[in-house]
């Protein structure tokens, strides 16, 4: 057996939010794991037999852990895996609303097996919370967990039935897995295509009130208090929901939440005259809500940033707004859009990287998301200041549905490493 390859990343700015490390140094990977790191490592040069990568002073951080991606199917030329690698994402967790729905141990195993074949990125599945995501009967949570489901959620569907949610929380706590909710009162959101308000009224579109989010969230928070179970609210989009979450955390409830870049970079005006690329679920909100999401990230109320990557076929977007599919692709813009918060001095670089690495990893109980001896050698090397302009046609993802075309951003991924092996750039 040949010895595991050793690679030295020298001349780096090491960023490890889990330990609070932000400083110059080097890192050594051996095989699939991190072997050593520190400011003095390789101070006297890299020994023979170790490959050297000069980081030229750029940031070396744990690879991004994206806790929310939609992958309708895992087909042969899996472009979303390439998009992840290009975006510095080394672990992504996919929602159960796939074909087939991930609601049995067999489908979890199918996804994990398929994931190994279609790409180098760590692809982990959520398990369904209820059978068929129908919200009526519990899925086999214990068996799903044993098969490798990292947490439970009905994905893009809210679990609306309060009694069902109470039981789901209580039962899931037995397996110490997070329950992830799409917090949107479905009856209030019914037929809605965009945020409720003046713009929706002018466009003649049915709106989804911002209150639909906090109504379901606050109900869930009461159920958390009742059950003591861990609960996570996905993609927060409103000021009221951030407030509710802030209060719940102050009370000591075991709750967490994430958001996605559209909710802190864009507002409902992006819809303009029926631009379906700006149709998301939950919808883009007003400017006050957008600013509150930034505040929630800045004060730590919002734990994580996920891409909410949702590839859509062009035909599903070239429709009248109400009929068009929701969602945008986000893997390749996740890091630069998040870095915007740092460039605007709202979060320190380390705190920002935490929302993309250690915090989601901790919520899901993953070993990834940190730089430490023995941790997986999943890394991203990036230049936080590099300026570029988003060109959606150049996305590696086959789907191009993003409202960011032509947007100037700062922050470029230079290298992505999964289990010690470079997976980006591709021309290696």
Partner 1 sequence: MNAAPKSIRFSHRHLLGIEGLSRDEILGLLDLAETYIAEDAAPARRRDILSGKTVINLFFESSTRTRTSFELAGKRLGADVVNMPVEASAIKKGETLIDTAMTLNAMRPHVLVVRHSDSGAVKLLSEKVECAVINAGDGSHEHPTQALLDALAIRRRRGSLEGLRVAICGDVLHSRVARSNTLLLNTMGAQVRLIAPPTLLPPAAERLGVDIFHDMDEGLEDCDIVMMLRLQTERMHGAFVPSSEEYYHFYGLTERKLAAAKPDALIMHPGPMNRGVEIASAVADDIERSLIHQQVEMGVAVRMACLDLLARPPAEKRRPMSPAR
Q: Which is nearer to partner 1, 200 or 217 (CB)?
A: 200
> From the CB of 316, what's the least distance to partner 1, in Å?
10
Q: Which is nearer to partner 1, 315 or 345 (CB)?
A: 315
Site residues (CB under 8 A) for partner 1? 196-198, 200-205, 207, 209, 273-274, 315, 318-323
Q: What DSSP letter does each residue of 310-368 carry, written as one string?
A: ----HHHHSS-TTTSPP-B--TTTHHHHHHHHHHTTSS-HHHHHHHHTHHHHHHHT-S-
Phi, psi (degrees; rounded to nearest 5) at 173: -65, -25
**CA–CA separation, 302 and 231 (whole Å):** 13
Q: How many CB atoms lie within 10 A of CB 9?
A: 28
- The β-bridge partners of 341 are none
Residue number, 319 or 387, with CB nearest to partner 1: 319
Give least dist CB 281 to partner 1, A: 18
308 catalytic, yes or no? yes
In angstroms, give the least distance from the CB of 121 to partner 1.
Answer: 34
> Residue 190: enclosing H or E segment and its boundaries?
none
CB 338 within 8 A of CB 305: yes
Which of residues 213 and 332 has its CB atom nearest to partner 1 in the complex?
213
Look at residues 389, 384, 382 and name the one whose alpha carbon lies nearest to residue 409.
389
User: How distant, in Å, are the alpha carbons of 85, 142, 239, 370, 374 from that of 33?
Assistant: 18, 29, 40, 11, 6
Catalytic residue selected from 295, 308, 351, 405: 308
Distance of alpha carbon 132 from alpha carbon 129, whole angstroms: 9
**Shortest distance (Å) from residue 112 CB to partner 1:** 36
Smallest separation, CB 280 to partner 1 (Å): 17
267 or 307: whose CB is closer to partner 1?
A: 267
- Give the residue numbers marked as catalytic: 308
């Amino acid at each position: 057996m040949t010895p595991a390859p050793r690679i030295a990343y020298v001349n780096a700015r090491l960023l490890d939010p889990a330990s609070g490390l932000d400083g110059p140094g080097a890192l050594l990977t051996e095989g699939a794991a991190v072997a050593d790191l520190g400011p003095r490592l390789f101070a006297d040069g890299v020994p023979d037999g170790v490959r050297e990568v000069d980081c030229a002073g750029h940031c070396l951080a744990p690879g991004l852990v994206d806790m929310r991606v939609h992958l309708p199917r895992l087909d042969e030329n899996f472009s979303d895996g390439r998009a992840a690698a290009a975006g510095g994402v080394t672990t992504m967790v996919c929602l159960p609303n796939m074909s087939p729905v991930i609601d049995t141990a067999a489908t979890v195993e199918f996804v994990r097996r398929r994931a190994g074949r279609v790409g180098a990125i760590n692809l982990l599945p959520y398990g369904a919370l209820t059978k068929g995501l129908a919200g009526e009967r519990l899925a086999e949570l214990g068996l799903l967990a044993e098969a490798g489901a990292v947490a439970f959620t009905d994905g893009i569907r809210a679990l609306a039935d309060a009694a069902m949610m109470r039981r789901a929380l209580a039962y899931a706590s037995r397996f110490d897995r997070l329950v992830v909710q799409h917090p949107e009162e479905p009856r209030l959101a019914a037929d809605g295509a965009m945020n409720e308000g003046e713009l929706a009224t002018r466009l003649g579109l049915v709106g989804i009130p911002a209150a639909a989010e906090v109504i379901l969230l606050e109900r869930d928070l009461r159920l958390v208090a009742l059950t003591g179970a861990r609960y996570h609210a996905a993609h927060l989009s409103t000021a009221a929901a951030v407030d509710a979450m802030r209060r719940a955390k102050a009370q000591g409830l075991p709750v967490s939440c994430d958001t996605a870049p559209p909710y802190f970079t864009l507002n409902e005006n992006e819809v303009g005259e029926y631009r379906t690329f700006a149709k998301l679920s939950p919808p883009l909100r007003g400017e006050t809500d957008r600013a509150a999401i930034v505040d929630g990230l800045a004060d730590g109320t919002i734990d994580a940033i996920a891409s909410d990557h949702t590839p859509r076929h062009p035909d599903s977007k070239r429709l009248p707004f109400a009929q068009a599919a929701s969602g945008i692709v986000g893997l390749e813009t996740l890091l630069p859009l998040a870095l915007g918060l740092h460039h605007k001095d709202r979060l320190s670089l380390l705190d920002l990287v935490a929302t993309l690495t250690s915090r989601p990893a901790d919520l899901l109980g993953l070993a990834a998301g940190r730089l430490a001896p023995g941790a997986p050698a999943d890394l991203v090397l990036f230049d936080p200041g590099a300026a570029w302009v988003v060109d959606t046609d150049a996305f590696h993802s086959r789907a191009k549905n993003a409202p960011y075309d032509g947007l100037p951003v700062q922050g470029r991924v230079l290298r992505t490493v999964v289990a010690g092996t470079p997976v980006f750039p591709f021309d290696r």
